[in-house]
Amino acid sequence: MILHNRFFSKILQIWLPPWGYMQAVLVSVGLFLAGILIHLFSDSQLAFGVSLPSWPWNIILLFVYCCLLFVFVLVSKQSAFVRWLGGSKVSVVAMVFVGTTSFFAGTLPQTKDSLSWTSNVITSWPFVFALLLLMTNLGLVVFRRLLQRRFEVGFLLNHIGLFIVMLGMSFGSPDIQRYKIPISENETAQEAVDPETGSQITLPFSIFLKDFQIEEYPATFAMIDHETGDYVMGLSGARTKFEAKTGAKGRLSDWEISVIDYLPSGERTKDGYEAVKGTAGVQAAFVEARYVGPEHTYKVLMHAEREITLKPGDTKKGWVARPSDTTNQKVMMLGKYLLAMTEPQTKVFRSLVQIEKGGEKMDSSIEVNKPLSVKGWKLYQASYDANMGKFSTLSVFDAVRDPWLPFVYFGVFLMLAGIVHIFMNGFTIWKRK
């Protein structure tokens, strides 16, 4: 009984002020475990994660949260707990808490199809509790400094900016809208589709797709066994593939290949291929193949079995090209092998569009990492018909609307201003010394 009382006495002493890092760590671990327990023992909707209300209830919730922080600061003189909650020790532990949970989001596959909290870290209860602890600590610091009129400009700008960014990203996330816009060439679209629910909305503008273009990296040559379809491995360090460019040379199996002429975009003619403007053509190359292996006789089965004898120095010239939407792939027969162009990797794909809003028309282009902003919406180039490749006439856009983005940008601006102020202030002090 005495040992039992001593044990609980030590436990109670841990929670007697003043509090420090140990209490901050214990609170963080407790919040993490509480989040796990909520996930494990609640119904599926609650276990799936935290979902804040959208406009206007998120504004009301934000206002109530800030009022509570303000009240906490007012009573901080009488409350050691509030002073500790807004202190530096909690700041350090809370940042480690957020960083640890974020580590799972960056290293584990994230999918909305799974109910595991590790598959939905950003909306999981452990992450929300970690973010709430850090955000509350930061808010208490900001309000306390403002009420105490301790206007250390650089410090305040950094902390206020970070607080605004965290508020905007947390409370503004329910108002983010994400839709898909599939559209074919020479067609107009004004409806966007929710990829999760299939519901549609009408956008305040229309999109006319004038043209969809794909630029490719140069294709590579490869030697293929026409009977098995397998790539032929090179001999004594010879490469199995090399890039198609004018003047390029390489050895594939027992053949030395020289590229005499390369067309990034070519069109098939009676005599071979000729260059065409734009990206409408296919990659084609006029090559010379020279046999450098020992004399050998092959039995080749094409339409009928026949024998082919190759001697050192035998050469062959001809075109090798990728297939188009109307022509087959052009290959060169080299003994029992086929010299072919492999499928090139996509370099960039873009859509040439015409936006109509309020009777006004605007021509523009949309490509990966270069979105177009229209009436509060951002249009991103998302995908195309992969089966058609560069001859796809279908383009798919992501339409995203985030009304809280200016709020977040304002916070980022304050943080940058704070960094500049601290730097300039430090430079001035150094110069005086």
Neighbours of 340 (CB within 10 A): 20
pLDDT, position 227:
73
**CA dist 24 → 28, 79, 84, 353 (Å):** 6, 16, 9, 55
User: 94: helix, coil or strand?
Assistant: helix
Neighbours of 112 (CB within 10 A): 11
- CATH code reported for the domain at 178-215+347-401: 2.60.98.10
pLDDT, position 48:
52
pLDDT, position 237:
40
Query: Which of these, 100, 76, 75, lies nearest to 87 by C-alpha position?
Result: 76
Alpha carbons 396 and 350: distance in angstroms, whole number: 10
Task: Flag residues of the chain having pLDDT under 70.
Answer: 1-12, 42-50, 113-115, 233-241, 300-305, 427, 429-433
pLDDT, position 370:
93
pLDDT tens digit string along 77-108? 778 888 899 998 999 999 999 998 888 887 88
* pTM confidence score: 0.75
Contact present, 273 and 266 (Cβ < 8 Å): yes
Alpha carbons 189 and 361: distance in angstroms, whole number: 14
Which residues are 202's β-sheet partners?
Answer: 191
For the chain, what are the domain ranges?
Answer: 15-149, 151-176+402-433, 178-215+347-401, 218-344
Structure-token pair, residue 221:
């040559």
pLDDT tens digit string along 188-240? 999 999 988 889 999 999 999 999 998 888 988 888 887 777 777 544 344 55
pLDDT, position 6:
63
pLDDT, position 168:
93
> Exposure pattern of 33-71 as b/e (b: 16+ CB <10 Å)?
eebeebbeeeeeeebbbbebeeeeebeeebeebeeebee
